[in-house]
Amino acid sequence: MIRAYFNQRAAIWDETVSERDMTKLERMARRLNINPGSIILDVGTGTGVFIPFLLKKIGGNGHIVALDIAEKMLEKAKAKGFNGNINYLCAAVTNIPLDNEIFDSIVCYSTFPHFQDKP
């Protein structure tokens, strides 16, 4: 159900992102303790609105795994042609096919409200 909703909304999702949201993302990224060369998991990456700010933090030697449950959201993110080491992964956050110990940081922007199994 969540996947279907976000796949349906992917085409127009970026229309809901305001300049205020972008300013907030930039400010949040500055506050994150992410070093150049870090490996980041971006949970619920959506159309990739946070990716440019994360790329600035990790520099040319860093890496981002952009995770989302909706393949259409990831297609939109890929289409933006971000310049950096990014892998796009379509999976649920509860079933990530990667070892969690490979990541230096995990970010989750505007995603937690959509988790079905919250602590």
Give SS3 for 25: helix
Residue 113 clears pLDDT 60, i.e. is over it: no
Place of tokens 């971006």: 42
The string of pLDDT tens digits covering residues 43-84 is: 999 999 999 999 999 999 999 999 999 999 999 999 999 988
Strands of the sheet with 105-108, listed across from one edge: 86-90, 63-68, 39-43, 105-108
Query: 48 vs 92, which has greater pLDDT?
Result: 48
Superfamily designation of domain 2-112: Vaccinia Virus protein VP39 (3.40.50.150)
